[in-house]
Amino acid sequence: MSAVVETGGADDGTTDGGGSFREPPPPDDRLWRHPSEVAQRPPRSARSQPVRPHSPWPIALVSGLLGSVLTLGLVVATGALDRGAGSAIVREPVPSASRLADAGGGGRGGAGDVVRVAERTSPVIARIDVAGDDTATGSGVLVRDDGHLVTSAHVVDGARSINVVLADGSERPGRLLGADPLTDVAVVKIDGAERFPVAVLGTAADLRVGQPTIAIGSPIGLIGGSSVTTGVVSALGRRVAGREGPPLLDMIQTDAPVAPGSSGGALLDSSGAVIGITTAVAASEAGHQGLGFATPIDIARSVADDIIATGRPVHVWLGIEGRDLDGASAQDRGLAGGAVVVGAVEGSPAERAGVRPGDTVVEVAGKEVTSMSALVIALRGREPGEEIDLGVVRDGERVTVGVELGTRPPES
């Protein structure tokens, strides 16, 4: 039996008395499609307009916008951590709004997401066994496919030999290329003709408190592969005591536990990109169980890049000794805080620029600083030889001092 399509009559959605069917609405006005109507059917607006040659720039623009939004878009790094034959993988920066989406919907993300991130990331996490005056075990993150790992400096402190156990159980001898106690970052190189899997490096620049985190490492050398814990970013810019020497600054705090042996592992965002290198020493020294800390990956990448290129980290140097401006003095002077100069090292950039004891540094290159730690952090993004202005309060007056930054001497 065949149906006759009627082209006239009222559009009331019913059949007429003769049993024939009215013409259906155009495909674009329906919730359903016949398969023959789906294949390469142009949109209605395109059918009602004359066909014009395509200009290439709208296509390029749309492609660029899509590339900047996709959180899984990857590029092979040609700069940081890529000065040799090996290559690193760095995730393209994404708008802050995309990262803020990570913090929604309950914070920690679904279990399936964590499973997928852990499966992708576990192959780039290695166990590092260290022999020296004492034996120690830590973790490392493969950041270049020619065998460079980033780990915590305290893990390899005093090492006479290093053995690296990869995720597949194979073992390789490791060489310490350099370490930086100021940031608790070190680089270990393993040799091999094959190419190794590498982590996707993200950024900690636009992290938000409450954003989900995943910590992955090899705790206390246990058999069975990496250990995974989840949490959120609990705080940013933490100052915590290290094992020895100056405190660790600008640390990420997370409630994802970092167990002993997991130091040097990866702190990840919800997409699986590395946002920090974890350390358990800070947590144990601070006396807070159940907390984890991590060096921001932006700092770790910069330090590792220097170590790979020159064998040692390069830090800018101002050359002052100081203390935090106390709250009462800050209130009396109408300041939010500052770094009080106790002394300027002889021959340092600060001394040459005329910085005096008693000066209070309140601004670095237009950025407010409220403590000695804030001053150190503000200088980390600078390069030796760069000229900057310091905002200084001297004898109750605000003055500007121009300084050419130097390179921190190894012994300082």
309 shares its domain with 320 = no
Task: Report residue 381's pLDDT band, with 50, 70 and 90 as the boundaries.
Answer: confident
150 shares its domain with 246 = yes
141: CATH: 2.40.10.120
269 shares its domain with 345 = no
Whether residue 336 lies inside any domain: the answer is: yes
The pLDDT tens digits for 199-232 are 999 999 888 999 999 999 886 655 666 788 899 9
392 shares its domain with 300 = no
Task: Report residue 132's pLDDT band, with 50, 70 and 90 as the boundaries.
Answer: confident
Task: Report residue 134's pLDDT band, with 50, 70 and 90 as the boundaries.
Answer: confident
Whether residue 54 lies inside any domain: the answer is: no
141 shares its domain with 207 = yes
Query: Which residues, including other chains, have CB under 8 Å from residue 197's CB and lie 6 or more apart?
Result: 123, 124, 142, 145
Q: Specify the residue for token string 């996707």.
A: 200
- pLDDT surpasses 50 at 42: no
**Which of these ranges, 75-79, 114-118, 274-278, 367-371, has the smallest mean pLDDT?**
75-79
- pLDDT surpasses 80 at 362: yes
Answer with the one of 289, 314, 339 that is the final residue of a domain: 314
> So what's the pLDDT on residue 17?
42
For residues 271-281, b (16+ Cβ closer than 10 Å) or e, as one string?
bbbbbbbbbbb
- pLDDT surpasses 50 at 38: no
Domain count, the chain: 2
Whether residue 57 lies inside any domain: the answer is: no
Task: Report residue 81's pLDDT band, with 50, 70 and 90 as the boundaries.
Answer: low
Residue 341 and residue 401 in contact, taking contact as beta carbons nearer than 8 Å: no
Whether residue 21 lies inside any domain: the answer is: no
Query: Which residues, including other chains, have CB under 8 Å from residue 138's CB and lie 6 or more apart?
Result: 127, 128, 130, 151, 152, 155, 156, 218, 261, 262, 263, 264
196 shares its domain with 87 = yes
303 shares its domain with 181 = yes
Answer with the one of 280, 298, 314 that is the final residue of a domain: 314
Task: Report residue 245's pLDDT band, with 50, 70 and 90 as the boundaries.
Answer: low
More confident residue, 102 or 29: 29
254 shares its domain with 305 = yes
Whether residue 281 lies inside any domain: the answer is: yes
Answer with the one of 314, 340, 370 that is the final residue of a domain: 314
Structural domain of 375? 316-407
More confident residue, 131 or 246: 131
113 shares its domain with 248 = yes
Whether residue 30 lies inside any domain: the answer is: no
> So what's the pLDDT on residue 225?
67
375: CATH: 2.30.42.10
159 shares its domain with 211 = yes
> So what's the pLDDT on residue 349?
96
> So what's the pLDDT on residue 111?
61
Query: Which residues, including other chains, have CB under 8 Å from residue 193's CB and lie 6 or more apart?
Result: none
> So what's the pLDDT on residue 258?
82
Residue 7 and residue 23 in contact, taking contact as beta carbons nearer than 8 Å: yes
Which helix H or strand E contains 316, and what residues bound it? strand 316-317
241 shares its domain with 111 = yes
332 shares its domain with 271 = no
- Output the average pLDDT for the chain: 76
The pLDDT tens digits for 110-131 are 566 888 998 899 999 999 999 9
**Catalytic residue list:** 154, 184, 263
Whether residue 64 lies inside any domain: the answer is: no
DSSP strand E in 166-291: where? 171-180, 185-190, 200-201, 212-217, 227-240, 248-254, 266-268, 274-279
Task: Report residue 86's pLDDT band, with 50, 70 and 90 as the boundaries.
Answer: confident
Whether residue 270 lies inside any domain: the answer is: yes
